[in-house]
A and B are shown apart, each in its own frame.
Chain A
């Protein structure tokens, strides 16, 4: 079948050629239209601007691939940042403050899974509830004000550079590699795909579905927390209003990157590419001094286009 070869020898990995192609075409177009686009400094800027959404999107990829949905990562991101800030302000050393932030994310993610598994209420509703609960918690913990005065070590995570490359970019790259390894090479990844593909089948063959869901949502919570910490470190403050709307951007990145919104298919490398597509669009349009409102229009169009291309392809396969 023509479509088999069309995936460019990447069949086993499940990475789609389309999203990579879109990214390259887009980058080429930007390179022509915006003279500065291809400079090394600017490309690093693109990655830096994408890092927070990208890290969130990696966690979301796992949940979506497993047939779930997490609308709460934008709010969880804020709580984690605030929890870290409060912990540091209260005198804890910075590593413990960081751990507090991550633990908050993990706990809230786990709460999502616990409610979903025990109550049978759909993930859409449960995580929509968490979106509100976590935002409220962030405001409560911070008294509604940004927390300043983070330690130098924490700020380094957002503003430092290693070998000339900003720390958030390193973390984005590292978590992408780790995530891709997890989803494509481990039994955890295989079981996640099976769960999202056909929950009954996964149950019949003896996969511990409840435990798996707990791990997926907890992972999304941890990744959201990591994103929140990077964000706070970059802007010098743990802001309780950080990350509003990021949950949808994260889902958009994952879906543009080829993750099936209804589960059973997803790659972290795809999500990385999806996030970059959004970053390149924004950056390129900025360089061309296009009014920022157009960026949102463009991203929306790319999302629909990506899923449409995907549907056309899968229709050709049968």
Chain B
């Protein structure tokens, strides 16, 4: 991503953002409210197109002022996003949610197209097992499951598209400690499979637990691009709020 700008009316939300992400890498995206995190991700997922600058993905031009980007196009490139509000249909069961909008079909008597429940459940179970996600029953409405289980089902749906890049927006914000640990475990598993991951979170302990790099946005610019194991929470916080970062040996 090179030198990306995005403005809405008079407000310039992104002012020259550049960064790179490699496959199998977890990038933590942090920043205060209004720093431009959501806008940046929506440029990648095709909700918006860039005003200037270029976004490249997998050696191909994803978005530029001349290349309009759309959500369907993003999906075609292998980019998936799990939204903070989960976007689950909570009265429907687990399998229906994982295959929402893409239910497998078989033909009754060779002509009548009907949803193939069996195939749907077998494939749903396969995806969940692979991720080490335990769900008590595939046939219960997801509203009956815990917040952590719901989050992993939302991730499982995104994974059923075989993405190369997965963007997770505050996946742990509403979860208990134990459930958070489970979601982080799933993220580690995905990284091992070579999927690039962007993790947006306000919870710095989570960011430090799973990311390889941390990108700090502040007022529409990259305030810092840090390697997780070489930095500290204090330094990240300092970049987020815009204070002079702490150096070894005290305040610089």
Which of A181, A191, A207, A264 meets B91, CB within 8 Å? A264
A4–B144 Cα gap in the complex (Å)? 10
**Stretch in contact with the other chain, from B53-61, B101-109, B168-176:** B101-109
A260–B91 Cα gap in the complex (Å)? 10
| Chain B contacts to A: CB under 8 angstroms | 72, 83, 85-93, 96, 100-103, 105, 113-115, 117, 137, 139-140, 143-144, 157
Interface assignment of A197: CB less than 8 Å from any CB of chain B: yes
A105–B87 Cα gap in the complex (Å)? 34
Give every chain B residue within 8 A of A296 (Cβ-Cβ). Answer: none
A207–B92 Cα gap in the complex (Å)? 16
Give every chain A residue within 8 A of B100 (Cβ-Cβ). Answer: 194, 201-202, 205, 207
Q: Are A200 and B91 in contact (CB under 8 A)?
A: no
Q: Could you pull out 29 A-B pairs where Cβ atoms are within 8 angstroms?
A: A11-B93, A11-B139, A12-B93, A12-B117, A186-B113, A187-B113, A187-B115, A189-B115, A190-B92, A190-B96, A190-B103, A191-B101, A193-B91, A193-B96, A194-B89, A194-B100, A194-B101, A197-B89, A197-B90, A197-B92, A200-B85, A201-B87, A205-B87, A205-B100, A206-B101, A207-B100, A265-B91, A317-B143, A317-B144
Give every chain A residue within 8 A of B103 (Cβ-Cβ). Answer: 187, 190
Interface of A is mostly: helix
Give the 7 A-B CB pairs with smallest separation, nearest first.
Answer: A205-B101, A197-B89, A264-B91, A201-B87, A185-B114, A205-B100, A198-B89
Name the interface size band of chain A: 20 to 34
Give every chain B residue within 8 A of A264 (Cβ-Cβ). Answer: 89-92
Tell whether A4 pairs with B140 under 8 Å between CB atoms, given A187-B103, A205-B100, A205-B102.
yes
Tell whether A204 pairs with B91 under 8 Å between CB atoms, given A4-B140, A194-B100.
no
Q: Are B115 and A201 in contact (CB under 8 A)?
A: no
Q: Are B139 and A201 in contact (CB under 8 A)?
A: no
Residues 260-283 of chain A, each 1 if its beta carbon lies under 8 Å from chain B, else 0: 100011000000000000000000
